[in-house]
Amino acid sequence: MSIRRIALFALLLAPCAYAQNAPIVLPPDATLLQVNAHGESRRTPDVASIRAGVVTRDADANAALRANATRMTAVIAALKQAGVAERDIQTSSIGLQPQYNYGDKQPPKITGYEVNDTVSVRLREMSKIGNVLDTLVRQGANQIYGPDFSVDKPEAALDEARRAAVEQARERAEVYAQAAGLKVRRIVSISESGENATPPRPMFRMAMAANAAAPTPVEAGENTLGVDLNVQFELGH
């Protein structure tokens, strides 16, 4: 592309870029009203995320690492056997730390080593969560975090929340306009501050012995997906 064509292309783009940042221009008789609104929709979660860890300790660092690897290998194999896809299993952290003994007026002394290996797991079959948790502990996992519930494809729910937020903003604008003796003419701008989801936080009960008659109970409940909007209205007579 020649320099002349590049310059012309830049000139054509400039007005568009300026228009996006240009101040709002209203008729002389108009009043600008800014309204914050929140919309929500609820969905049953279809994905659960957990983190499972194996902690091992030994006087020798290499022995602690090898023991941890053996147990974590069994944990991962159990996850795959339970039907969890490889793409839903991800190592999130591996740590090796010395353990110290602190005596009175004595320098710290290394007494052994601790290895912590954690995997993040996404479970897509909600009915199997309790069985998977029990299996993890039987296979050597001694740290469990979660589950955290989410909606795999939240777009439709978020769009529902957006429509609810716009409707709420319109209703509030009508209230303000009537109180001021004005009418709502039009929406001038809409900005979205982000999406948020408020999942239920179930309590994972560690009292799940290997010989338990029933799997650990886990209730998914509902997730609330919300959207916050800032809507500007033009009011007038």
What confidence tens digit (pLDDT) does each residue in 134-165 have? 999 999 999 999 899 999 999 999 999 999 99
Q: Which is higher by pLDDT, 175 or 198?
A: 175
Task: Inform me whether the pLDDT recorded for 21 exceeds 60.
Answer: no
Q: Which of 3-7, 129-133, 182-186 is the least confident region? A: 3-7
pLDDT of residue 211: 47
Task: Inform me whether the pLDDT recorded for 107 exceeds 90.
Answer: no
User: Mean pLDDT in the chain?
Assistant: 85
Task: Inform me whether the pLDDT recorded for 52 exceeds 60.
Answer: yes
Q: Which is higher by pLDDT, 60 or 215?
A: 60
Task: Inform me whether the pLDDT recorded for 77 exceeds 80.
Answer: yes
Task: Inform me whether the pLDDT recorded for 26 exceeds 90.
Answer: no
Q: Which residues 6+ apart lie within 8 Å of 123 measured at CB? A: 47, 48, 49, 50, 84, 88, 129, 132, 147
Is residue 227 within 8 A of residue 39, CB to CB? The reply is yes
Please tell me whether residue 24 adopts helix, strand or coil conformation.
coil
All CATH 3.30.110.170 domain ranges in the chain, comma separated: 26-45+152-237
Cα–Cα distances (Å) from 111 to 8, 27, 101, in that order, read: 72, 78, 6
pLDDT of residue 214: 74
CA distance from start to end of the chain:
53
Task: Inform me whether the pLDDT recorded for 2 exceeds 70.
Answer: no
Would the pTM count as exceeding 0.85? no
* Strand ranges of the sheet holding 47-58, from the earlier edge strand across to the other edge: 89-101, 109-123, 47-58, 143-150
pLDDT of residue 106: 83
The superfamily in CATH containing domain 26-45+152-237 is Protein of unknown function (DUF541), domain 1 (3.30.110.170)
CATH topology of domain 47-150: Alpha-Beta Plaits (3.30.70)
Is residue 17 within 8 A of residue 10, CB to CB? The reply is no
Helices (H), the chain: 3-21, 61-81, 129-138, 155-179
Task: Inform me whether the pLDDT recorded for 192 exceeds 70.
Answer: yes
Q: pLDDT for 214-225, tens place per residue?
A: 788 888 889 999
All CATH 3.30.70.2970 domain ranges in the chain, comma separated: 47-150
pLDDT of residue 195: 61
pLDDT of residue 142: 93
Name the percent of the chain lying above pLDDT 90: 68
